[in-house]
Structure 1
Amino acid sequence: MGRLRSVDVCSGAGGLALGLERAGFDPVVLLDNKSVACETLQRNRPAWNVLEMDLLDFDPVEHPESYDVDLLSAGLPRVKSSATAQRVETGIERRLLGATVLLAHAVQPRALLIENVPGLVDGPEFDEVRDYIQKELEHLGYGFHWFIVNAADFGVPQDREQGVLVALKNRFFSAFRPPKPTVARHITAGEALHASMSERGWTGAVAWAAQADRVAPTLVGGSDKRGGADLGPTGTKKTWARMGINGGALSNEVPGPNGVQESDTSPSGLKKITVPQTAILQSFPNDWVFAGKKTAQYRQIGHASPPPVGEALGKSIAEALDS
């Protein structure tokens, strides 16, 4: 089967698009409304057609290359489930979800992939959203697969559940199978980060890696409206602490030979991880460059879909389309 064509919206740092590229999909258009994310995409893939644009303003008529594509993919901002955001029209996250559905209505790709919160799959608080999506698309000849994947099952050293919708034109629907785990054993955070923790000769790296004997908690990119980068809410920080990690902030460097991190002025004896190490926990390749300063880089990484998940989903979609 030859290469397939896709449109990727809310592309962020490109985690989903990179995974889909590995699965055989070449994006004809990628768009994001953040300049730093677009810079990241263009630094890593200069040949990609990256548009700095809000999805709500995207008109496929002005970008005819977006028609007749095999896949429309969207790693959308996490949809809220609070009582104040119950309607599809309420909140920017739900408006972007609605805009993705309307774009699919306009360009009618052979397959649609939306990745979001697990609750979107079966949570009663999202019943209205699921009904909206299906009513908008089922009369166009789409069938729907809703399921949840955990990134850890695909070799990502992180406990990261993702809700997934794969909608396919009816002639491909029955051939689709959700991807099966690609690893028999989860990779622990200690295994994933040991090499980087040892880069400056820290003699305690082996003992630290043995303590970090589980997958990392879900990385949380945080909001653009709040302060610097940290690894999540209080409960998550406690989990990090049990792994020997200070989740309150990120370091500028890994520990030196005596375990000192020069940029860490906190009284904690726990180690802080660096931005490149968070990219390892998301399974980005080592040569993937992130634009912006530390906090902007971390937010791109924390909000991304891990590339191995996108690759597994893409392969399942490609196999169905090949049928």
Structure 2
Amino acid sequence: MSGLRFVDVCTGAGGLALGLEQAGFEPVLLLDKKPVACDTLRMNRPAWQVLESDLLDFIPSRHRETYDVDLLSAGLPRVKSSASVARTESEVELRLLEAAVYLAHAVQPRALIIENVPELVRAPDFEPVRGLIRKELHHLGYSLRWFTLNAADFGVPQERKLGLLVALKEPQCAAFHPPEPTVREHLSVGRALRHSMAEGGWRDADRWAAQANSVAPTLVGGSDRRGGADLGPTGTKKAWARMGVDGGTVADSVPGPDFVWAPETGRQGMVKITTDQAAILQGFPSDWRFAGKKTARYRQIGHAFPPPVARALGLAIRTALAAPATPVAGYTSTL
């Protein structure tokens, strides 16, 4: 099967779109409201059609290329956890989630991907949201599959759980199966970053890599409304500290030959990661560049969908779309 076309909304730095491209899908339109994210997309893929617009303001009838596509994908801003889903600050994220579903009315794709927090898949507090999505998509003839994936299972050196909805029309939904892990052994931070840590002549790169022998905690992009770049909340910083990494900031460059790594002395003795290294931990290829200053680059990376997971997901959807058009008797959607 060739010539599969997709529209991607809330594209960000392009992790989901890049992985889908690797799986054989061709983007016809990518949409994001942040100028720096659009700059990143244009810098890496000048031929992609990138629209700087808020999904809530997007009018698909003005963009005829969005019609008759095979896939609509949306890596959306995170709705709040189940403990805080009723808070006022969740309203924008929930409206974007609803807007992505309503966009399916106009676009009528053969398949739909929505990615968000893992809690969206099963947490009781999100049942009203799932109910709305189920009602709208069933009305359009889609069957739904809710599931979670862990990026570490796909060669990404990071513990990152993704909540996913894949919707397809019959009989393709019966042919869809969530992708299986592509690695038997998780890639540790030390193995992933050892080479880059040594690029500046740092003599302790091997010793550090031996201690950084687990996957990274989830990278957190943070909010545009707060501070500079750091690797996440207190618990995440403690996990980084156990690997001898200062999670309170992001470095401008890798350590040089004179840097003394002494994590037992506190933050001043810990190594810091760069934005390029954060991109490695998110599964981006080394030639993918990010626009903006350091904090803007890190936030794009921290919010991104890991491309290796997107590729595996795209291949699974591609297989389902190629399935013979023979209805499966008695099949109903799951969850």
Task: Verify same fold: TM over 0.5.
Answer: yes
Q: Deviations over 1:273-311 (max 9, x none)?
A: 111000010011111110000000000000000000100
1:224 maps to: 224
Q: How many matched pairs?
A: 319
Give the Cα separation in 2 of the matches to 1:156 and 1:88.
34
CA distance in 1, matches of 2:135, 2:312: 28
1:314 equivalent to 2:314? Answer yes
Q: C-alpha offsets along residues 12-50 of structure 1, whole Å, 9 cap, x if unaligned? A: 000000000000111101000000000000000000000
Q: Deviations over 1:136-174 (max 9, x none)?
A: 110211000000000000000000000000000122110
Question: How far has the Cα of 1:258 moved from its partner?
Answer: 2.1
> Which residue does the alignment assign to 1:25?
25
3-state SS of the aligned residue for 2:258? coil
Q: Is the 8 A contact 2:149 2:162 kept in 1?
A: yes
The 3-state SS of whatever aligns with 2:175 is: coil
Q: Which runs of 5+ in 2 are unaligned?
A: 324-335
Question: Is 2:117–2:163's contact at 8 Å kept on the other side of the alignment?
Answer: yes
Letter in 2 for 1:171: P
Structure 2 distance, partners of 1:136, 1:3, is 28
Equivalents in 2 of 1:69, 1:245: separation in Å?
44
Query: Matches of residues 1-323 of structure 1 in structure 2 within 5 Å?
Result: 1-81=1-81, 85-86=85-86, 91-259=91-259, 268-323=268-323
Gap change, CA 1:88 and 1:3, over 3 Å in 2 = farther
Compute the displacement of 1:88 (Å): 11
Give the aligned residue type for 2:208.
W
Q: Match of 1:230, SS? A: coil
Q: TM-score, normalised by structure 2?
A: 0.93
Q: CA deviation at 1:85?
A: 3.9
Contact 2:15 2:304 in 1 (8 A): yes
Distance in structure 2 (CA, Å) of the matches to 1:147 and 1:42: 32
The superposition leaves residues 87-106 of structure 1 with CA deviations (integer Å, 9 ceiling, x where unpaired) of: 99961100000100000111
The structural deviation recorded for 1:201 is 1.3
Q: What is the RMSD of the two structures over their aligned residues, measured on CA atoms?
A: 1.6
CA distance in 1, matches of 2:142, 2:267: 56
After TM superposition, the score normalised by the length of structure 1 is 0.96
Secondary structure of the equivalent of 2:147? Answer: strand
| C-alpha contact (below 8 Å) 1:89/1:95 kept by paired residues | no
